[in-house]
Structure 1
């Protein structure tokens, strides 16, 4: 029973962190109709900026958690203005090719600035060590913090899209940009803001993941694959789908790694294939029953 409870907590830990990252990918697609291959690179840059602020400049973790995502969001605004604005409204294959090229450029830029070595970030002292939970389960405090961050972001995003004027404007611009423009909404500003917000979410995930995962130039490639699995399972462009897909993938990783370690690497792809066989648009995607 202890092993099952630990695996359940691990599934929440992995799943909610994936949700924070993958929901940014979904927001960008929903508002911009762009599948952003460079999303993983923005996650990676968030982790590297967090590492630089914490390990190299001596900033506290909490300051890095605020500043690094803002830096990545500012980079996203620059990329939007200089590069991505040329493919808005064009075929989705154009966005795939451009953002894949952008991914390669950002990956090489990271190697040039930080090198190809592996870097490690220690969790803050407040979140170090383990905590004994009911049933005698010992669980890392930092992993509980990650679960808390995921739940907080979930609540905040739900409130943003369902209870705020900004969320309604973003939804209107994604559903009918021409009508939104006719109503006086600055759709160009909404598009830039949505891309920057998606990048901010990816970078938050990068900084939060830094004390748990090795920071290396290939980490963005790994997370973009997992993020695409999340959105395929949940449904591309669906906010509830991003949550369901992330929790499903988190459970696959956690329980598969504990009970089926020999095939754990392929279980996410098997799960994605099974979902596509039953729901080609994903569990909560458009057209899903």
Structure 2
């Protein structure tokens, strides 16, 4: 039972990283109505920037903390540029154009990453302070995974407070309901959209920076994370940050249990849950019917 508990907690830590990334995707989709396939590219770029920053800083806690600041900011700047220079020009066209554009961006970013960092696998060492573990009923659990869970909960609380208690959050919710009316009331809607896209890119960058010390960094990690992120958005409910948290935890725990029960079929557990939600509750666990 202790081994099962440790495995579930590992799934929760993975789910928290997935939530951070997917929360940015659900904000973008909920407000801008853009299915941003380039969201996984933001995650990948942040992971490679984290590798560079930690290497330049000589590793350790200072390099790790610097990467958590620099990598998300770099990705946020990239996201703002993409929204202002590309997406804004086609925002009134059919969604098909947005899909093609964001997919093209993923190809361009992938080639750019190959040119800068190459095709080799990279790894980011964990800070010495976070290399240890804590004891849970006599079994070790990595300290870094505890940090991921804590940061995920803090981000979830911060997003909830932002959406419910700040003027920016209230404007966002109004824009989701009726963007034209918000514009008629004097709100700079293009600037609002840029802010939402930048925030979503920053969250993807933070997720990439946090995930970098957990596994290898290589070309292609953008594909896996974007599939899982869309699954989170669909399971939790489009536009719902709370739903993204629930969906991410569901996927993280199901993956962890799947690795214990049937390692070769672990990925299938995600799609089984996805199909079940689409059949039984198409709007998502915490979503609302259109």
Q: What interval of TM-score do these two structures reach, taking the shorter chain for normalisation? A: over 0.9
Question: Which one of 59, 63, 66 corresponds to residue 66 of structure 2?
Answer: 63
Partner of 1:88: 91
Measured after TM superposition, the shift of residue 285 of structure 1 is: 2.4
Partner of 2:184: 182
- What root-mean-square deviation, in Å, do the aligned CA atoms of Structure 1 and Structure 2 show? 1.3
- For residues 214 and 263 of structure 1, the distance between their equivalents in structure 2, rounded to whole angstroms, comes to 21
Partner of 1:19: 19
Partner of 1:262: 264
Which segments of 5 or more consecutive residues in structure 1 lack a partner in the other structure? none
Partner of 1:165: 167
Aligned length: 287
Measured after TM superposition, the shift of residue 90 of structure 1 is: 2.4
Question: Which one of 239, 243, 246 corresponds to residue 244 of structure 1?
Answer: 246
Partner of 1:106: 109
- For residues 101 and 174 of structure 1, the distance between their equivalents in structure 2, rounded to whole angstroms, comes to 26
TM-score normalised to structure 2 length: 0.95
User: 1:249-279 CA deviation, whole Å, 9 max, x = no partner?
Assistant: 0111111111222321211111111111111
Measured after TM superposition, the shift of residue 179 of structure 1 is: 1.3
Partner of 1:34: 34
Partner of 1:214: 216
Question: Which one of 199, 203, 206 corresponds to residue 204 of structure 1?
Answer: 206
TM-score normalised to structure 1 length: 0.96
Partner of 1:120: 123
Instruction: Give the match's secondary structure for 2:267.
Output: coil
- For residues 208 and 241 of structure 1, the distance between their equivalents in structure 2, rounded to whole angstroms, comes to 21
Measured after TM superposition, the shift of residue 57 of structure 1 is: 4.4
Measured after TM superposition, the shift of residue 8 of structure 1 is: 1.9
- For residues 226 and 201 of structure 2, the distance between their equivalents in structure 1, rounded to whole angstroms, comes to 13
* Higher deviation after alignment, 202-211 or 251-260: 251-260
Measured after TM superposition, the shift of residue 174 of structure 1 is: 2.3
